[in-house]
Amino acid sequence: MTGKLYGVGVGPGDPDLITRKAWRLIESASVIAYPILEDARSFARRIANDAVRSDAKVIKIKIPMSVERGPAQAAYDKGAADIADALRAGDDVIVLCEGDPFFYGSFMYLHARLKDEFEVEIVPGVSSVTACAAAAHLPLSARNEALTIIPGPVEGSLLRARIEAAEAVAVMKVGRHLEKIKQIVEDAGLLDAAWYVEYASLPEQVVMPLSEKTGDAPYFSMILISKGKDPWL
Amino acid sequence: MTGKLYGVGVGPGDPDLITRKAWRLIESASVIAYPILEDARSFARRIANDAVRSDAKVIKIKIPMSVERGPAQAAYDKGAADIADALRAGDDVIVLCEGDPFFYGSFMYLHARLKDEFEVEIVPGVSSVTACAAAAHLPLSARNEALTIIPGPVEGSLLRARIEAAEAVAVMKVGRHLEKIKQIVEDAGLLDAAWYVEYASLPEQVVMPLSEKTGDAPYFSMILISKGKDPWL
């Protein structure tokens, strides 16, 4: 019997925000897998750690720090091959995914490589966007408002155009792009409507008006902008 | 001791996609609350039903079918007053929210009315957007792509402009707007990139190419469009 591949979202950070389904799958897993950036620790593994069996086999997919496509593609090829070996040996494989597997996750690279040969199930998870809104006590979008989610590394003029054209906005992966994003938000007259959140749902969570945030931001940070005025409020 | 108000996301439909935190809160709740549209049944209550205590007090907030703001505002005023009574009596109140509380949810109307007087905690949930992507096996957005989420009832020319300007797109609450949306997607040359999903994660889930979907769609349906070509795939 060939095993089944699961892409399992582990949510934004708090292990209690893992779904019941994901928790049960992880607890019963004999093989788990996740990508790590070179030799860094896996955030997804940290989130799910209490559910991982001590005897579980772990497939670590080491992604090189590179903007080139070749090395990353090769790493996912290798990871997919390792996972395929386990599946062919009859084990189910649980891939741990920060947040949700198909929401800015790397699981899609494994999925693309394995979906034609193996049975795959995706278990959605709580995304960082709604976790940040919860942390900031800021309703994201209501009724007929559009919500635009934009990665912070996007080039400045495109980011500016997208923020100006949008209604509600979440800018993800702020990191070293903080000052660029903040300037664009200020130029658009939206600084008073913008919140900064880092490590939502974790003990080290930070929430503050964007206007007060300066200096460095971690990768796991977000800016939320609510332009809307809901008439039912 | 005054009680605490919780806005709790119960996810897209499968009770197993409720988070561990939400499940525990609902199981221990002596008072739960949720809105219902006139005399319809509550989808959030259906999702969470197995966790609700048989002796829990239930506050139903009856929202009138009306496009006017007055009757809906009055209904949320009344619901907030009922919840406030329970909180003042010392009970915690768990408001059940389909998907996520602050992602197109009505919890924001209760939150706005109660946040200044009472302690509030928001428990994020799995949103229908990522549940639909999981059901369709369709990665939503990768790397530096923007994701735009648009409610289907939006007026046609605005919907058209938003879909054309976007990268990845999710159109929510398709319902009776199916033909309008489908025509816009076809005119934009995106019909082959579009998927239709209804009741994601439930036994009655439907997934099909948008090109094959005709006739009526339920409120809990979505169209996903992925324009992107990720170079790492």
State whether the Cα torsion A61-A103-B96-B200 is positive or negative. negative
- Burial of residue A92 (CB within 10 Å: 0-12, 13-18, 19+) is buried
Residues in A closer than 8 angstroms to B172, CB to CB, are none
pLDDT at B233 (0 to 100): 60
Q: Which residues of B touch A124 (CB under 8 A)?
A: 12, 17, 126, 130-131, 133-134, 201
The predicted model gives A192-218 an average pLDDT of 96
Q: Which residue of B has its CA nearest to A174?
A: B144
Q: Is B124 helix (H, G, I), strand (E, B) or coil?
A: coil
Minimum-distance CB partner of B126 among A76, A125, A134: A125
- Let me know: does A31 contact A91? Beta carbons within 8 Å: yes
- Is residue B140 within 8 A of residue A149, CB to CB? The reply is no
Tell me whether residues B154 and A144 touch, CB distance under 8 A. Answer: yes
Give yes or no for residue A232 having a pLDDT over 70: no
Name A168's bridge partners.
A147
User: A91 to chain B nearest CA, in Å?
Assistant: 21
Q: How many CA atoms lie within 13 A of B115 on its CB side?
A: 14
Burial pattern A29-54, b for ≥16 Cβ within 10 A else e, equals bebbbbbeeeeeebbbbebbeebbee
CB contact under 8 A, B144 and A138: no
pLDDT tens readout for residues A48-77: 999 999 999 999 999 988 777 788 899 999
Residue A122 tokens read as: 């995706």
Chain A residue with Cα closest to B231: A69
ipTM, 2 dp: 0.95
The rounded distance, in Å, linking the Cα atoms of B197 and B207 is: 5
pLDDT for A22-49, tens place per residue?
999 999 999 999 999 887 899 999 999 9
For residue A134, the chain B residue with the least C-alpha distance is: B122
Contact at 8 Å (CB) between B134 and B17? no
Bridge partners, B148 (sequence order): A148, B169
Q: Which of B121, B70, B130, B154 is nearest to A145 (CA)?
A: B154
The count of CB pairs under 8 A between chains A and B is 187
In this predicted model, what pLDDT tens digit does every residue of B96-154 receive, in sequence order? 999 999 999 899 999 999 999 999 999 999 999 999 999 999 998 888 899 999 999 99
